[in-house]
Amino acid sequence: MKHTSKFNAAVAMAALCGLLLLPMMAHARPVSYPGGITVMAQKNDEVTSTHVHYSPTAKYSIGHRFEKHREDNFQLQAAQLNYLVNRWNKPDSQANLYFKTGLGGAYNDNGPGSNLAAFAGIAADWETRKYFVSYENRYLEAGKIASSFEQRARVGIAPYVAEYGSIHTWLMLEAKYNEEDEDPFTLTPLVRFFKGPALLEAGVSSSGSALLNFIYRY
């Protein structure tokens, strides 16, 4: 693992994104409606993951998270709790602020070796029917197997405003920073489609890796 020599750059990115989001604060949808079940499958340049969660209320969700870290050759299995800190509903916009945390184990793919793993972070977004901004971060600690701090920020625009029940399309740009990765900073242009309970995202990062995310809410 690399040392945290680029910590100042990470702090600067967090501060910048925080300033951009401060007047609006919010996104991620890691909490569904009461009784709702959400299934998420994600693949990016470093990680393939699944996350299934159940929302007993509109304030929090509980579930299971699996991650396969291909470059660092380990797997993560964890119980995850997502909590809605606040939601701001305006006539033409919505904003959300979430806290996400998890506890489980990390397992080395190259042989014997496991470690207790824990992570925590925030997710925030603001959106109208035309514009979208989000920021999220996560600190993961898994002892001798892994230790990292990752940040992501997105901006997006809808090329058209779809009617309720139609296919909604968003054009987005994602910036990711994780100094533990082979390419610490990447940009990923992507397109998002969603209709009803289903959402699909696809893009290619500046490092040439594919991004593919799928979410379905029951």
7 SS3 class = helix
- 3 pLDDT tier (thresholds 50, 70, 90): very low
Q: Which of 138, 181, 179, 186 is nearest to 4 (CA)?
A: 179
The predicted pLDDT at position 11 comes to: 42
- DSSP classification of residue 208: S
Mode of pairing for the β-strands spanning 210-217 and 198-204: antiparallel
C-alpha to C-alpha distance for 64 and 67, rounded to whole angstroms: 10
What are the phi and psi torsion angles at 206 (to 5°)? -65, -15
- 15 pLDDT tier (thresholds 50, 70, 90): very low
pTM to 2 decimals? 0.82
Contact 213, 40 (CB under 8 A): yes
Q: What is the pLDDT of residues 58-73, one digit of tens each?
A: 999 999 999 999 988 9
- DSSP classification of residue 145: T
